[in-house]
Amino acid sequence: MKPIYEDHIYLGEFGIGIFLGISFFGILINNIFRNFIFKTPNQHLIINLPYFFTVSKNIFSRLRTKNEMGAWIMTSDVIGKEKDKETLASLKFKAELKLLPIVLKAVRDVTCKYGLDEASVRDLELATEEACHNVIEHAYEPGEDGYYKVKIHREPTCFRITVRDQGIPFNLQRLNEEEPTDIGVRLMRACTDEIRSKYLGKRGKVVELIKNFPFESVNNLEKSTTKIKSSSVDLAPPSEKVTLRLMSSNETVSLARLIYRVYGYTYPHEDIYYPEKFASLIKSGLVTSCVAVNEQDEIVGHLGVFRETPEDHVGESALAAVDPRYRGRGLFPKMKKMMMEEITSKGMLGLYSRAVTVHEASQKSNVKMGAKETGFVLAHSPPTTIFKKMKTETANIRRTVALFYVPVVPNRKQTVFLPYSHKKAINKIYKHAQLPRVVKKANPGDVKLNSHSHIYSHVLPEMASAFLRVNEYGVDFIDELRLQVQDLCQRKIELIVLDLPLKDPSTAILCPEIENLKFFFCGIMPEYLDGDSIRLQYLNNVAFDPESVDVYSDFAQEIFNYVVGEWQEHYQNNSIKNISNKQVPMK
């Protein structure tokens, strides 16, 4: 018989009998002493026997099963606390905004280490941020030294975060409304599986955020087409004034709320859902943002310009969002014009953007702003991205984007070396975009490779995508690229985008070898690598249907057909749906 092992007690049948016998005689002796020696009134054996049987019943209820040696197992909750609940962390903080990142880091680190998946960790972190932010902003009067407690509990089926304070009471019923009007409550609802709240009398109030472990539903086992129907939304009064200005780093929470209203939690770049992280990008200069604000100083529109490195001469126009209540006012063109003026003052050369192809609206807006189509990245975005309050109908496939470029200063003339197989197509794009270029033929004898290659890699796990750019070619380039592709594929990366400098003659010489690794042409990126780059892409077992793409202009259709033809040529032996007899006139 084992005495105690971890959280169980092991008892043989003989041991159980001895235990109960000793208990019975203990009660009997106790009764004799109390009734006959100490003369304690009203203490009779008949009163203690029910107690004995109650104890016996509780003991047998704990004898769950026998172990492999035939001993009964009694769980340790007979002698101690059950272990189906654990408090992993208990923290107390002063109600100051500057301490909030510490709370969120604790939530992330603890839940990650105890088995919660990345998406659920992100949701729970954002819900906790909203709950704590509400305490910091509203629970205490200005100048009052207030504190709040955060506890992280792990239970058999979920994590539970409790946020407790002793500040000013507020209406907790808001958390239980079927259709909450408060955007913060909607954020917490969207990020959790359950929210509970209660008053604790003189001990204040508590909010509980519950996130279940991700058990797959039977409904999710079947692939189905997602259909998002348009829903009615009350438009803001036309007389309400909307002002455009540059965004400051302390407005990132308000921006996150706008993104939620437009995209929910489906926007591919997750940095936007981490206000502190996005604020650091603004402070570093890697992000410059224009916002549209209403009369209540609420952000109702946003457009950002992103740079991967401070040395980049062009930036990406991205994170375009307009609150559904303010659509139809032409805010996007106004914001883009303002951003073009802003980056011109910073000495940048141009803007590129990726327009969705589930509809033509954003492509049309880019064309009207003077942007030119320079390519298409097939299967670029995960199928999870949605546009709230907008009618879209998509299958469960990754979505294609159209590449656009618009200069903000007069185009500079530069020399490029074009791969022979794509020379006609690239020249047509240059002509369409009115980019003056001097095209030279690459001579293999003039190519000098360094001892080692330098390939910059930016991996976005939430998009299952990786973006590579070649800064230097080395003698090991093809081998290095092959190893990187193998590694990324093993990490379940579905899309690999590769940018090669066209000012380097090595690009024209090595391009055929690169395409032998199943990379294929998808466009050019003007001024992207201190000069133009040719953009290639690689798809890792990704389905693609050309019929799912809506193209706005005739020239864009010509580029799209050419890119699809390249994809078909490189992946024609894969079990992927092929394009149906489309012409590729750019070849």
Q: Is the pLDDT reported for residue 45 higher than 60?
A: no
Q: 573 falls in which pLDDT band (50, 70, 90)?
A: low
pLDDT at 142: 83
pLDDT at 455: 93
* E strands present in 122-204: 147-154, 158-165, 194-199
pLDDT at 185: 77
Neighbouring residues of 405: CB distance < 8 A, sequence distance ≥ 6: 314, 350, 351, 352, 353, 371, 372, 374, 433, 525, 526
pLDDT at 574: 47
Q: 318 falls in which pLDDT band (50, 70, 90)?
A: confident
Q: Is the pLDDT reported for residue 132 higher than 80?
A: yes
**pLDDT mean over 135-139:** 88
Helix (H) or strand (E) holding 8: strand 8-11
Lowest mean pLDDT among 214-218, 271-275, 394-398: 214-218
Lowest mean pLDDT among 299-308, 310-319, 394-403, 449-458: 394-403
**pLDDT mean over 350-374:** 87
Q: Do residues 350 and 407 make contact, with C-beta atoms less than 8 angstroms apart? A: yes
Q: From residue 372, how far is each of 343, 360, 413, 545, 557 by CA, in Å? A: 18, 14, 18, 24, 13
**Amino acid at residue number 502:** L
Q: Is the pLDDT reported for residue 354 higher than 60?
A: yes
Q: Is the pLDDT reported for residue 83 higher than 60?
A: no
Q: Is the pLDDT reported for residue 264 higher than 60?
A: yes
CA distance 532 to 370: 19
CA distance 401 to 85: 47
Lowest mean pLDDT among 37-51, 102-116, 147-161, 218-232: 218-232
Q: What is the 3-state secondary structure (H, E, C) of 87-140?
A: EEEEEEEECCHHHHHHHHHHHHHHHHHCCCCHHHHHHHHHHHHHHHHHHHHHCC
pLDDT at 42: 43
Helix (H) or strand (E) holding 364: helix 361-368
Strongest mean pLDDT among 82-91, 118-127, 483-492 = 483-492
Q: From residue 285, how far is each of 248, 288, 313, 445, 555 by CA, in Å? A: 11, 7, 13, 42, 35
Helix (H) or strand (E) holding 490: helix 477-490
Q: Is the pLDDT reported for residue 113 higher than 60?
A: yes
Q: Which residues pair with 535 in a beta bridge?
A: 499, 523
Lowest mean pLDDT among 121-135, 250-264, 528-542, 565-579: 565-579
Helix 275-284 / helix 100-113 crossing angle, nearest 10 deg: 120
Q: 294 falls in which pLDDT band (50, 70, 90)?
A: very high
What are the pLDDT digits (tens) for 525-555? 999 988 999 999 999 999 888 998 999 999 9
- Residue carrying the six token digits 């996130």: 211
Task: Single out the residue of 448, 400, 420, 407 nearest to residue 561, CA to CA.
Answer: 400
Lowest mean pLDDT among 79-83, 231-235, 438-442, 485-489: 79-83
Q: Is the pLDDT reported for residue 293 higher than 90?
A: yes
Task: Single out the residue of 582, 552, 529, 561 nearest to residue 428, CA to CA.
Answer: 561
CA distance 418 to 531: 13
Higher pLDDT, 445 or 232: 445
pLDDT at 95: 92
Model pTM? 0.57
Q: Is the pLDDT reported for residue 14 higher than 60?
A: no
DSSP summary character for residue 232: -
Helix 183-191 / helix 252-263 crossing angle, nearest 10 deg: 70
Q: 31 falls in which pLDDT band (50, 70, 90)?
A: low
Report residue 575 as tokens. 């079990």
Length of the chain: 587
CA distance 523 to 566: 11
For residue 139, count CB atoms less than 10 angstroms from its CB and return exposed for 0-12, middle for 13-18, buried for 19 or more: buried
Strongest mean pLDDT among 37-41, 47-51, 176-180, 235-239 = 235-239
Q: Do residues 317 and 340 make contact, with C-beta atoms less than 8 angstroms apart? A: no
427 three-state secondary structure? helix
Q: Maximum CA pair distance of the chain?
A: 116
**pLDDT mean over 211-234:** 47
For residue 234, count CB atoms less than 10 angstroms from its CB and return exposed for 0-12, middle for 13-18, buried for 19 or more: exposed
What are the pLDDT digits (tens) for 321-336? 899 899 888 888 889 8
Task: Provide the mean pLDDT of the chain.
Answer: 79
How many angstroms separate the first and last alpha carbons of the chain? 82
- Residue carrying the six token digits 């041991």: 15
Q: Is the pLDDT reported for residue 229 higher than 60?
A: no
Lowest mean pLDDT among 69-73, 128-132, 201-205, 520-524: 69-73
pLDDT at 349: 92
What are the pLDDT digits (tens) for 144-201? 889 999 999 988 778 899 999 988 877 666 666 665 556 677 778 888 888 888 878 7
Q: Is the pLDDT reported for residue 563 higher than 80?
A: yes
Q: What is the 3-state secondary structure (H, E, C) of 21-46?
A: HHHHHHHHHHHHHHHHHCCCCCCCHH
Q: 18 falls in which pLDDT band (50, 70, 90)?
A: low
pLDDT at 291: 96
